[in-house]
């Protein structure tokens, strides 16, 4: 008899925890977990409570993206670009400042007009998606070049790295080649 009471108490606590997690009010016991004592004590009539397994919450909104969108942008950018042509070679640093797709005077980029135009046409080129397990990448080597780009594009922070060590990275480099400049030795 004592074990039965202890089991009934544990079931009641468990039902309270489950109903507390699912957002339904705690009615003391849940119809699916309450021990049956007799049919002489029917439960009070009322609206049926949702099962504890029923989803009752509203989905959370999608997180704000830190990636510039694909497609045409405003063409505003303030970027620091560092390219390493090969291991042990000195870094080459550029500054790129664009206003409405036009380079500003403080830009030190070798082809600032092409870089600003490329950013206005597609600001998302500086935020390549990291390859996941579902994205196959060819295992080819495109060269030792590496690049890093930090700053802002159309009001969105950019902090991207580029390399040429496999097919996916080569593709991302080629898409951003106007912004990365020619000093990396990659065409």
- Residue 139, exposed/middle/buried by CB under 10 A (0-12, 13-18, 19+)? exposed
pLDDT of the residue at 176 = 93
pLDDT of the residue at 127 = 80
What residue ranges of the chain have pLDDT lower than 50? 1, 7, 13-40, 60-69, 184-187
CATH no. for 77-180? 3.30.350.10
Residues in the chain, how many? Answer: 187
pLDDT of the residue at 67 = 42
pLDDT tens for each residue of 132-185? 556 777 888 889 999 999 999 999 999 999 999 888 899 899 999 999 986 544
- Would you kindly state where each structural domain of the chain is located, as residue ranges? 1-37+48-57, 77-180
């Amino acid at each position: 008899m004592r074990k039965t009471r202890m089991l009934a108490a544990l079931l009641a606590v468990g039902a309270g925890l489950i109903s507390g997690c699912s957002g339904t009010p705690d009615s003391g016991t849940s119809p699916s977990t309450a021990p049956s004592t007799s049919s002489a004590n029917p439960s009070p009539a009322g609206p049926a409570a949702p099962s504890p397994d029923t989803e009752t919450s509203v989905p959370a909104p999608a997180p704000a993206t830190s990636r510039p969108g694909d497609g045409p942008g405003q063409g505003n950018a303030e970027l620091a670009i560092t390219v390493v042509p090969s291991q042990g070679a000195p870094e080459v640093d550029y500054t790129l400042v664009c206003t409405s797709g036009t380079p500003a005077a403080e830009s030190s980029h070798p082809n600032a007009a092409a870089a600003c135009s490329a950013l206005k046409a597609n600001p998302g080129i500086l935020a390549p998606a990291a390859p996941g397990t579902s994205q196959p990448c060819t295992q080819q080597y495109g060269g030792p070049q590496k690049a890093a780009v930090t700053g802002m594009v159309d009001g969105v922070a950019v902090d991207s790295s580029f390399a040429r060590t496999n097919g996916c990275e080569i593709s991302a480099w080629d898409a951003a080649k106007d912004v990365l400049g020619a000093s990396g030795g990659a065409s």
